[in-house]
């Protein structure tokens, strides 16, 4: 638990560094407690030097240098950014490693376990099987403390070369950016690779925190949060923590990847839209205004798949926390338009869906997806985000979250990375043997590894591949994935 409570040993500082404080969203144990690694699997042999030079070139650009910064603790115990004035061989812009495994991926003990798409919804693999490709073999992520006393830049690249594949891994400490911040990073990286430097925008200036007004409440909230009366009190938090908290921090867990093919999720989405439109017509409402996203149906479906096998008391509350970016809500206010000056950092809020277990398991999927959409629409406004963080400030926990529901609830989390567009990346210029003409070079598989904090039933939606398959991963208490797989098979056979 040193990453939460440990004292950080002193480290020699470079007096020429530009020193910046952490922003509000970076300065929390929730963010600092996780080191991230996203693995992109390409069915091509890529040039590791081209990948390194393009990413390094991005970080050296004006406004992007923060990603090459080091993290240090000052005399007052506060963590700060220390950004080199000039990147050198001794203090590079990114961490970099390349391993040439010298064999086909199928012959390698880890790469041979790269999950393959399935024809029906299924648990298809364990992302932790690839952990020694994502990080150096034997490395156990320890959170921000791993960066405080090393020369490690906050952003790293690890390239694993095989005779027929390349596993490209982007590594970072979560203080650097969230999922939408990652979108700007990988888009900039791709543009560098394609020689489109002129299309790379300069990020928001990192010296000051644009979300300082949220952190300090200098602009009071203009309305009450829609779930203000559903906050969990101290007694409920203690009770909830003894359940969910122990599951997260103590109990053994299994990490798994689920593939949801388009032949399954799209009919579910179309059916849900038909039902909601028919309902609108009966109510005399305009059916053309019925709206659901692919993410809505995936979230609702996942909730149902998690809850059904647990055979909960129908009255037990299920709380789904859905991570949202604050960027859209605050564009033109606290931050400029993302297309002009993207905010590469952390800026997240939450939508909470509170429903009984009985409703999750018995109501139509269309009804459940609509609850998800309504929660995102209602709680995703600028005023509601401000109201939410007014509650965060009042809670005094130091965490950028407020727990909604009650002490007995079942908690499910969702972080949808689809907008990061990881499956849409085209790294064709990095091909070592460009014999495929103008064919794009896109990832066939994407996964994430993180640690040391691993919430139970915290689902990452990695995105949709070029065949329409959605990929989502999560950790569950050891032994529970078998029950979920049984539920997937049952639902598929029943056509629901």
Please say if 225 is a catalytic residue.
no
Omega before residue 452 within 30° of 0, cis: yes
DSSP state of 260: E
* Rounded distance between C-alpha atoms, residue 374 and residue 380, angstroms: 10
Distances (CA, A) of 125 to 97, 118, 259, 351: 26, 11, 9, 29
Buried b (16+ CB within 10 A) or exposed e, 410-425: bbbbbbbbbebebbbb
* Rounded distance between C-alpha atoms, residue 348 and residue 258, angstroms: 25
Compute how many other C-beta atoms are within 10 angstroms of the C-beta atom of residue 119: 11
Please say if 426 is a catalytic residue.
yes
Q: Which two tokens stand for residue 212?
A: 């300082």
Beta strands in 400-440, from DSSP E residues, in sequence order: 410-416
Beta bridge partners of 317: 356
Q: What are phi and psi of 335, to 5 degrees?
A: -135, 155
Q: Which among 104, 178, 216, 107 is positioned nearest to 350, based on CA atoms?
A: 178
Beta strands in 43-175, from DSSP E residues, in sequence order: 70-73, 79-83, 95-100, 122-125, 155-161, 166-173
Q: What is the 3-state secondary structure (H, E, C) of 38-56?
A: EEEEECCCECHHHHHHHHH
Compute how many other C-beta atoms are within 10 angstroms of the C-beta atom of residue 362: 12
- Considering the candidates 23, 82, 108, 174, report the single residue annotated as catalytic: 174
* The pairing of beta strand 155-161 with beta strand 95-100: parallel
Residues taking part in catalysis: 174, 426
């Amino acid at each position: 638990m040193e990453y939460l409570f440990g004292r950080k040993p002193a480290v020699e500082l470079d007096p020429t560094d530009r020193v910046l404080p952490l922003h509000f969203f970076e300065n929390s144990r929730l963010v600092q407690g996780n080191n991230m690694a996203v693995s992109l699997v390409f069915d091509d042999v890529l040039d590791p030097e081209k990948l390194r030079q393009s990413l390094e070139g991005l970080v050296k650009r004006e406004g992007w240098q923060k990603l090459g910064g080091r993290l240090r603790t000052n005399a007052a115990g506060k963590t700060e950014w220390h950004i080199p004035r000039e990147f050198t061989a001794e203090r590079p812009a990114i961490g970099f490693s390349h391993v040439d495994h010298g064999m086909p991926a199928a012959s390698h003990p880890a790469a041979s376990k790269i999950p393959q798409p399935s024809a029906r919804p299924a648990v298809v693999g364990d992302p932790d099987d690839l952990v020694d490709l994502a990080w150096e073999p034997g490395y156990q992520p320890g959170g921000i403390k791993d960066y405080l006393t090393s020369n490690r830049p906050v952003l790293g690249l690890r390239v694993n070369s095989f005779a027929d594949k390349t596993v490209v891994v982007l590594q970072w400490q979560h203080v650097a950016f969230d999922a939408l911040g990652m979108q700007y990073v990988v888009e900039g990286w791709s543009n560098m690779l394609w020689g489109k430097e002129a299309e790379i925008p300069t990020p928001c200036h990192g010296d000051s925190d644009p979300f300082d007004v949220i952190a300090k409440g200098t602009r009071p909230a203009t309305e009450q949060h829609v779930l203000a009366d559903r906050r969990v009190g101290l007694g409920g938090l203690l009770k909830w923590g003894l359940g969910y908290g122990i599951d997260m921090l103590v109990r053994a867990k299994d990490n798994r990847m689920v593939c949801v093919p388009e032949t399954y999720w799209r009919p579910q989405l179309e059916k849900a839209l038909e039902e909601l439109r028919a309902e609108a017509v009966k109510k005399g409402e305009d059916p053309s205004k019925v709206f659901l996203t692919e993410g809505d149906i995936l979230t609702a479906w996942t909730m149902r798949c998690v809850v059904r096998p647990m055979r909960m008391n129908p009255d037990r509350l299920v709380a789904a926390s859905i991570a949202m970016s604050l960027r859209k809500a605050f564009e033109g206010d606290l931050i400029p338009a993302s297309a002009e000056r993207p905010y590469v950092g952390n800026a997240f809020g939450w939508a909470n869906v509170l429903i009984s277990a009985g409703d999750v398991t018995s109501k139509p999927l269309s009804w459940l997806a609509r609850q998800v959409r309504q929660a995102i629409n209602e709680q995703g406004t600028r005023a509601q985000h401000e109201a939410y963080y007014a509650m965060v400030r009042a809670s005094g926990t130091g965490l950028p979250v407020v727990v909604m529901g009650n002490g007995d609830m079942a908690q499910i989390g969702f972080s949808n990375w689809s907008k990061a567009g990881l499956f849409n990346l085209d790294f064709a210029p990095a091909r070592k043997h460009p014999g495929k003409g103008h064919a794009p070079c896109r990832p066939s598989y994407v996964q994430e590894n993180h640690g040391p904090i691993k919430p139970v039933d915290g689902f990452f939606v990695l995105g949709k591949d070029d065949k329409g398959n959605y990929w989502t991963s999560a950790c569950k208490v050891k032994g529970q994935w078998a029950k979920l797989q049984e539920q997937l098979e049952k639902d598929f056979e029943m056509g629901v």
